[in-house]
Amino acid sequence: MRKHAGTAVLAALGVLALVTVGCAPPEEEPRRPAAAPAKPERMGFTLVATGDVLPHDSVIRQAREDGERSGSPYDFRPMLAGVQPVVAAADVAICHMETIYGEEKGPFSGYPMFVSPPQVARALKETGYDSCSTASNHTLDAGSTGVRRTLDAMDAAGLRHTGSARSAAEGGRVNLLRAGPATVAQLSYTYGTNDIPVPEGRPWTVNLIDPGRIVADARAARKAGADVVAVSLHWGTEWQREPDERQLTLARRLTAATTAGRPDIDLILGTHNHVPQAYEKVNGTWVVYGMGDQLAGEMYNPEGDQDARGNQSSIARFTFAPPTAAGRRWRVTKAEFVPQVTDLRRPFRVLDLGRTLVREPGRADLAEARERIRDAVLSRGAAKDGLVMTG
């Protein structure tokens, strides 16, 4: 599990022995215990990120069934338990909440206008996530009211968020996360909102992709104290394994932005397109074009066929080390990905494929999914830059 430093220090007890009349003979002075060796200072941290949480009707029904066993109205924790060890072990863990939440008792709905149970927030927090991006094409499915309900539920669960806001003041705040010895800023933007207009006079309700604005926000995050700036982007072409030209162009532009010779953005994390896409180092910065859907029901491609790729995704894991000199960036010393799927055999469960295939070596479907995810993630040559699959 992640460790959160919080050790109290007591340092005044020896003073009382000196405030006495006269001095004790040397042989009567109490012996001070030898100082304990200093603990080595933690130098780096790990960041984990995952793809779209997209509760279709079938996922909501599964949460209701699991809740009947646990005594909760809707319990999403069992569905996410398979990846909890990976998520909770990171110093900072980032999720993507694609949908908005309804009232405590509903009503709820899946595609096309999603309204999810607010209990999702608690499940994400208890799985080990620290923060979620909330800018997506479904952010305005229930207007400003849906945004407020979603962020209220996340606040109640202790889950941080970025990408949508309830006020101008909230929209202007930088989402800063503690990651071991470092401070990470998470920013979040979407390509659009399914033609639902952003509320007039409230542009802060959801962040739309604008390259100049993203760079300006990244620089503001740096000034606010961020050692590492991670940008979550809801972008790309649905069901397309290869990143589209807009993704490639935006990735090049964002990773080229610098201030005093230091990149303004340290990591780009993509969602939206429903299938695993490549990781690539662009201008020296890691870009994840698309992680795929972490939790989703039966997915149908544009041809109307159920498509298993819509339930496949990768967990991105990056290990950062501090700068080698003042003014330089925190650098990625290890880049990894973990293949995962939403297994639609009843009951629905999100599986870490490495762990699952050790326990269930006969699952040819899962072995095939792992290879398909691996091929997509490495399709732009990331292996040569050190990206490895774990599991």
- In a domain, residue 8? The reply is no
Return d(Cα 373, Cα 383) in angstroms, integer: 14
Return d(Cα 121, Cα 124) in angstroms, integer: 5
- pLDDT of 14 > 70? The answer is no
Model confidence pLDDT, tens digit, residues 290-325: 999 999 999 999 999 999 999 999 999 999 999 999
- pLDDT of 29 > 60? The answer is no
The pLDDT of residue 30: 41
Stretch (H or E) spanning 161: strand 160-162
SS3 assignment, position 185: strand
The pLDDT of residue 38: 44
- In a domain, residue 5? The reply is no
- In a domain, residue 373? The reply is yes
Mean pLDDT check: name the lowest of 18-22, 45-49, 202-206, 281-285.
18-22
CA angle at 78 for the pair 72 and 80, rounded to the nearest 5°: 125
User: Which of 211, 323, 318, 174 is closest to 261 using CA atoms?
Assistant: 323
- In a domain, residue 313? The reply is yes
Query: Where on the phi/psi map is residue 356: left (φ > 0), alpha (ψ -120 to 50), or beta?
Result: alpha
Return d(Cα 181, Cα 144) in angstroms, integer: 36
Calculate Rg over the CA atoms of the chain. Answer: 23
Model confidence pLDDT, tens digit, residues 87-129: 999 999 999 999 999 999 999 999 999 999 999 999 999 999 9
Taken as a whole, the chain contains a residue count of 391
Residue appearing with tokens 């809740």: 67
Average the pLDDT over 51-78 and give the result: 97
Return d(Cα 250, Cα 200) in angstroms, integer: 27
**Which CATH number goes with the domain that contains 326?**
3.60.21.10
- pLDDT of 82 > 90? The answer is yes
- In a domain, residue 335? The reply is yes
267-271 and 388-389: which strand pairing?
unpaired
Structural domain of 365? 45-389
- In a domain, residue 14? The reply is no
- In a domain, residue 20? The reply is no
User: Which of 337, 335, 315 is closest to 385 using CA atoms?
Assistant: 335
Average the pLDDT over 151-173 and give the result: 98
Taking each helix axis from N to C end, the angle separating 119-127 and 57-70, rounded to the nearest 10 degrees, works out to 70
| Dihedral angle sign, alpha carbons of residues 185, 149, 199, 114 | positive
Instruction: Report residue 304: phi and psi, to 5°.
Output: 90, 5
Quickly count: other Cβ atoms within 10 Å of residue 242's Cβ.
17
**Amino acid identity for residue 257 in this structure:** A
Residue appearing with tokens 């994400």: 124
Q: Quote the tokens at residue 274.
A: 């429903």
Q: Do 280 and 337 touch, CB atoms closer than 8 A?
A: no
Q: Do 135 and 182 touch, CB atoms closer than 8 A?
A: no
- In a domain, residue 23? The reply is no
Q: Of all residues in the chain, what percent carry a pLDDT higher than 90?
A: 86
State how many domains the chain has.
1
User: Which of 294, 306, 297, 301 is closest to 353 using CA atoms?
Assistant: 294
